Amino acid sequence: MNITETKRGVILKVSVKPKARGFKIALQADEIVAFCTEEPTKGKVNKELIKELTRLFRKKVVLVSGFTSSRKRLLIEDALKSDVETALLAE
């Protein structure tokens, strides 16, 4: 998985697939894939991704890079790598 622990929290590398039927996070070939329901216009996918990951991890989530790309890096503040891995595997 593309998870890196830092002083501020955990960096998560995610590939985003927009316009899915429902929001879902899946692990595919050691890659984290987020299926989002929104269209990739005006930051709608980014907002949905941050909202859903905040709900999943119960921590503040910040988009670090990939604002217009399908590959994004998100910071989950004050999180531990083991907690993030556990939550992703439970999804």
| CATH code of the domain in which 64 resides | 3.30.1200.10
| DSSP category for residue 58 | T
Distance CA 46, CA 69 (A): 10
Is the pLDDT at 90 greater than 80? The verdict is yes
Containing structural domain, residue 10:
3-90
Predicted pLDDT of residue 38: 94
Instruction: Give tens-digit pLDDT for 10-57.
Output: 999 999 999 999 999 999 888 999 999 999 899 999 999 999 999 999
pLDDT at 1 over 80: no
Give the number of domains in the chain.
1
Of residues 38 and 89, more confidence is placed in 38
pLDDT category of residue 69 using cuts at 50, 70 and 90: very high
For the CA atoms of 8, 63, 58, 40, what is the dihedral angle to 10 degrees?
Answer: -170
